[in-house]
Amino acid sequence: MSTAVACATAHPNVALAKYWGKVLAPTNLPAVPSLSMTLDSLSTTTSVGFGPGLDSDRVVINGRSATDAEARRVSSLLDQVRVAAGLRTRAWVETANDFPTGSGLASSASGFAALALAATKAAGLEWDSARVSDLARQASASAARSIFGGFVTLMAGSADTTFLAAEPLNGTDDWQVAISVVITTFQPKEVGSTQGMAHTRATSPYYDAWVEHAPSLFERARVAVLARDLDELGTVAEESAFAMHACAMGSAPPLVYFSPVTLAVIEKVRSMRRSGVPAYATMDAGPQVKVLSSAANAAQVASTLREVHGVEKVIVARPGAAASVKLVGQST
């Protein structure tokens, strides 16, 4: 018996209105709505084949065997695919990022988006993007957004939600904007998003205020994208990022993702703005900074940020394409 091998590519995304916090339900539902931009110049490529000869799922990430925790997360997505497709066979999965993994560069977003797409295709499921996005969301909520290109929204769930997929903001992906990804370290982050948000929810006195405030930030970001209003989008992106981090920093013990270099980059972004170059900073669960600007100013923004002491690398990204998949052969 042989089955198809599918290879998928997905791009990471940067949230401009942040998701931080989950509904208390078993299926990974975000407690707040979020809005992101998919990044064209970074990608994850993942191949999946269901092989009758395997006694367990084999997962290779960037050329090394997955840790037990990583493999469990992959297998739980594959289990859902097996149930839907009526398959009993285990799978091999090979995935590689062309950017540093686990350092706040959204590798779980592109990783689980590519995995969901490759696994469903390899299993012979003809699912539309919304269904694949819902599957990816259960593994990592930000991954739901990486199924789509350009600007993408993901609504909040509630305890009785049974299906939740991201949605593209149609007609916005030709907007001439850019995000400069400022890498301040190649070390993996210490506290991942899943763990970080559970800790915040359990211990931060600001958590309820964040959950109450986040929908208005999301709505302002959505309106700003539709109006192609860079200044408003950048302003609200900074408010969202700092509100999320303030909430996380209020946890006990505090959750601090910023390094001294993160703060130096933020200060440089502010000084560029004072000198008339509109640029806006956002940070996720790691020390990297992502800087929103017009596409026309991106080269200047990136070269200014490369000068900040401690910055390792700056990658300029434009709105990227949706995740894609193709059948590449047979697994025996």
Task: Out of 89, 108, 133, 200, name the contact with ligand DP6 by CB under 6 A.
Answer: 108
In this structure, the strands spanning 58-61 and 90-97 are parallel
The interaxial angle of helices 207-226 and 230-249, nearest 10 deg, is 170
Task: Out of 75, 110, 142, 288, name the contact with ligand DP6 by CB under 6 A.
Answer: 142
- Site size for ligand DP6, by CB under 6 A? 14
- Please choose, out of 17-25, 83-91, 115-123, 274-282, the segment that lies near ligand DP6 by the rule CB under 6 A: 17-25
- Give 34 or 89: the residue with its C-beta nearer to ligand DP6: 34
On whether the CB atoms of residues 61 and 69 are closer than 8 A, the answer is: no
Q: What does the block give as tokens for 329?
A: 């052969």
- Picking from 19, 45, 38, the residue whose alpha carbon sits closest to that of residue 290 is 38
110 binds ligand DP6 (CB under 6 A): no
Residues 271-300, interacting with ligand DP6 (CB under 6 A): 284-285
Rounded CA gap, 159 and 323, in Å? 29
Residues 163-222, interacting with ligand DP6 (CB under 6 A): 193-194
Peptide bond into 287 cis (omega under 30): no
Taking phi first (over 0 means left), then psi (-120 to 50 degrees means alpha), and beta for anything else, what does residue 102 get?
left
Least distance (Å) from ligand DP6 to the CB of residue 306? Answer: 24
161 binds ligand DP6 (CB under 6 A): no
- Give 87 or 283: the residue with its C-beta nearer to ligand DP6: 283
118 binds ligand DP6 (CB under 6 A): no
Least distance (Å) from ligand DP6 to the CB of residue 330? Answer: 32
Rounded CA gap, 162 and 182, in Å? 37
Judged by the rule CB under 6 A, the positions of this chain that interact with ligand DP6 are 15, 18-20, 28, 34, 108, 140-142, 193-194, 284-285
